[in-house]
A and B are shown apart, each in its own frame.
Chain A
Amino acid sequence: MIDHEIEYIIEALLFAAPEPLTQNRINLIFEADRPDLAEVVEKLRDRYLSEGHGFQINNVAGGYQINTRPDYDVYVKRLLNKSGRLMLSPAALETIAIIAYKQPLNRYDIEAIRGVDCSGVLKTLLTRNLIKVKGRDEGSGRPLLYATTDKFLEYFGLARLSDMPQLKEINELTDTDEAQGEREQVDAFE
């Protein structure tokens, strides 16, 4: 195999893949000499950078995906007729934040935190494949347990769950100088 050929192959796979391309998927494609996807992607990125392109490779949901560069979103939106206004409701965002950090958990745990009925929101999130049912909880009624999906990672552009925003210490409401200092540290760390 020519030195650069593996880059072209991976590029072709990234181009054709309908969902983020993972190392696991690569391992199924190559019988021997399985390429290190992360390594090849780095080479491709270097090449794109030096050549200049309207697209780039992003880390998404544990894999890699070719995306248009955000600089040109205005044009792409016009092409696809997307207003970009159809976003998740505040209720859906609160709910998915709770699920993301405490998963798996049941509806009553979510409602205990939000203080409101969440059945409608959960239905929306399920329909949009952002969360899934992950078995049943112990205890009375054996309520369904919810967890986030790969689609959730993709939707928020996260490579993995650990890339989520850090849980902040609660001090906004009780701001003292000390707490302020702590938070700045956390922010700097991010």
Chain B
Amino acid sequence: MYRVHLESFQGPMDLLLFFIRRDEIDIYDIPIAHITREFMDTLDQARALNISVAGEFINMAATLMQIKSRMMLPHSLQDDLGDNVDPRTELVQQLLEYQRYKELAVDFRQLESSRRRFFPRSDNRRQFDSDEDPGVYLREISLYDLARRFKQAMDAMPVITSYDLRREPINLDDQKAILISSFNSEGRLLFTDLIKKLNSKLEVIVTFMALLELVRLNQIKLLQRRIFGDLEMRLIVHQA
């Protein structure tokens, strides 16, 4: 008794076709009990050798068991016309379809081998240079290429492994003080000039909040001469 090595098969269909061929089984009249036993034995052997059995094999095992149980019930499946349907039909169709492409794969293997005996000059591959014609230049680029480049770029991003978290030394009161001290001797300040002094987004945001706060406290007033024009700030001098 020799072992059937699971890993040498391209999946459960391949394994079933192997049994069918080995045991000279008529594919249109598969002895389900026999083939289910063979299939399960092979899975058990693989497990005994600590080989993990792919989900597809388990799935096929379940399908085989289901067919086997249906075979024992008389007329369990009927088609639209009320005729009895052999529970094996769907599996047989699948096996035939798969078998067809498995054979084609052999043909393609032959094509591959014979093609490999020809060598084109183009091993020093240059694409047609087409600076002036982006249509030609880009013609080989597919959506997949773009997605792949994007992923490469994302993967190449520097990975920050340790995080250095610090509280940003920015608070509302400080920014209010900075804002007030930024006014010129005439008590004027342009918003754009103020922004130029700031370094981070957070600083801009907090400074803007400080600005609103100062307006609310009636310490400064805002003027805008044109729509979307610069904001002009005036310091309000409170008479004591």
Contacts and interface: CB of A to CB of B under 8 A. Distances in A.
A89 to B, nearest CB: 9
Interface size class of A (residues with CB under 8 A): 35 or more
B111 A113 contact: no
Contacts of A98: 101
A70 B113 CA distance: 11
A174 B27 contact: yes
A91 B10 contact: yes
Given A87-B109, A172-B103, A115 B56 contact: yes
Contacts of B26: 173-174
A63 B152 CA distance: 33
A117 B56 contact: yes
Interface string B1-34: 0000000001111000100110000111000000
A18 B122 contact: yes
B111 to A, nearest CB: 4
A115 B11 contact: yes
A87 B97 CA distance: 24
Interface string B99-126: 1111111011101111111111111011
B123 A80 contact: yes
B60 interface: yes
A146 to B, nearest CB: 10
Interface string A58-84: 100000011111100100100010001
A17 B21 CA distance: 48
A156 B94 contact: no
A17 B111 contact: no
B60 A115 contact: yes
A76 B143 CA distance: 35
Contact of B144 (A91, A116, A133, A158): A133
12 contacts: A66-B121, A73-B118, A73-B119, A84-B116, A87-B113, A101-B104, A114-B101, A115-B60, A126-B148, A168-B103, A173-B20, A173-B21
Interface of B: 10-13, 17, 20-21, 26-28, 54, 56, 60, 94, 96-105, 107-109, 111-123, 125-128, 142-144, 148
